[in-house]
Every structure is written in structure tokens, then in C-alpha cells.
């Protein structure tokens, strides 16, 4: 698959996600954290190390190239998890970039490299819909963490983001929509 085709495929897929996101209400009200229960989700995952502003592009390229080779896969908003944001400098973060997969997908097509199938556990989660640029998320993350503590919970999993609307929608970062999420458990 050549780079031009991949770029077009990614743009089309983001447009499909964007149209879907605009035609349904986000799963969390903007600025208002909430707790809910989510089932485990089968995911196509690409691991990448480094500053997300540098490493995410390559990770998403591998992710979408593999995703579009899977028969029966249907677009949904992409997600990412960071495993060590609290213990490592940004240039050493470990990111897992992912797309949900249908349950019937049990193997990747021959020749797929750099991606794997995994199941992301969820259970009880705390999440909030953040609207704005990625570089301005910190206060909303702090608000979500305070909400978790105030409700008698603690974080029980990695930092996760689900991208409902992002760079594919244009240069205005104030319109980005990201669900920020943590698995939680009672203290």
C-alpha cells in the first residue's frame, strides 16, 4: 500500500468517524466527569515509544494500514493509552494506539507487521469529554483525577484517550473532542 493511498484512506476514515461523532451525542457531557461501566474491548494495537507529538504519526500509519487490511473491520474513534506518563519524561512515554475490532476477528492478515490484537479490560471507568487542543488537557485531567478521589475511587489502569474529533477536522484545535478515561476501583 503506497503512502498516498494510505493518507487518503486515513482521511476518509477520520471523516467517517467525524460524521458519526457529529450525528450522535458524546458519551460524556463536556467538562462533567462521570463514572460508568464498560465491557472489555477487542482492539488492534500498535505500541510506540516517545513523545506522542513525534511518534504518533508513525504509529497511526501502521495502525490504519493494518486495520484497512482486515475484512469486516468497521471504523470507530481511535484510542490511545499511555503506560508510564507519571513515571517517565514525555520523550520516554510508552503509547498504545488502537482501534476497536469486531469479536469475530481472531487473526491479522498475512504480512501484517507492527500491530497486534489485544483485549483491553475496562469495568468501572471515570471519564470526561474534553473539548480543546491536546496541549491544554492538563487542567481537565486534574479535574478528572480529583473527581475520582472525591467519589472514593482510585485509578486502576493507564491514562486513556478516545479521539472523537481531532486533526482531521482542520487546524482549529479548540474544536477537538477527546474523552479522557481511567479504569477505577473503590479504595
pLDDT of residue 26: 52
pLDDT of residue 24: 42
Domain extent at residue 27:
3-186
pLDDT tens, per residue, the chain with 187 residues = 444 434 444 444 444 444 344 434 455 567 899 999 999 999 999 999 999 989 999 999 999 999 999 998 899 999 999 999 888 999 999 999 999 999 999 999 999 999 999 999 999 999 999 999 998 999 999 999 999 999 999 999 999 999 999 888 888 899 999 999 999 999 9
CATH code, domain with 129: 3.20.80.10
Contact (Cβ atoms closer than 8 angstroms) between residue 55 and residue 173: no
Closest Cα partner for 43 from 119, 125, 121? Answer: 119
Domain count, the chain: 1
pLDDT of residue 31: 86
End-to-end CA separation in angstroms for the chain: 49
pLDDT of residue 158: 95
pLDDT of residue 21: 43
Closest Cα partner for 13 from 163, 152, 119? Answer: 163
pLDDT of residue 40: 97
Amino acid at each position: 500500500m503506497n503512502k498516498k493511498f494510505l493518507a487518503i484512506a486515513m482521511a476518509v476514515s477520520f471523516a467517517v468517524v467525524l460524521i458519526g461523532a457529529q450525528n450522535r451525542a458524546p458519551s460524556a457531557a463536556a467538562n462533567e466527569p462521570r463514572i460508568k461501566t464498560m465491557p472489555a474491548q477487542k482492539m488492534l494495537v500498535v505500541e510506540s515509544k516517545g513523545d506522542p507529538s513525534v511518534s504518533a504519526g508513525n504509529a497511526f500509519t501502521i495502525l490504519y494500514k493494518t486495520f484497512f487490511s482486515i475484512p469486516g473491520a468497521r471504523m470507530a474513534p481511535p484510542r490511545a493509552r499511555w503506560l508510564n506518563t507519571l513515571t517517565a519524561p514525555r520523550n520516554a512515554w510508552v503509547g498504545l494506539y488502537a482501534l476497536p475490532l469486531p469479536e469475530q476477528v481472531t487473526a491479522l492478515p498475512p504480512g501484517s507487521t507492527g500491530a497486534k490484537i489485544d483485549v483491553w479490560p475496562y469495568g468501572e471507568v471515570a471519564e470526561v469529554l474534553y473539548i480543546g487542543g491536546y496541549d491544554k488537557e492538563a487542567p481537565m485531567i486534574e479535574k478528572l483525577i480529583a473527581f475520582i478521589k472525591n467519589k472514593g475511587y482510585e485509578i486502576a489502569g493507564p491514562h486513556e484517550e478516545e479521539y472523537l474529533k481531532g486533526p482531521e477536522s482542520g487546524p482549529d484545535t479548540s474544536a477537538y473532542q477527546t474523552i479522557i478515561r481511567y479504569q477505577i476501583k473503590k479504595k
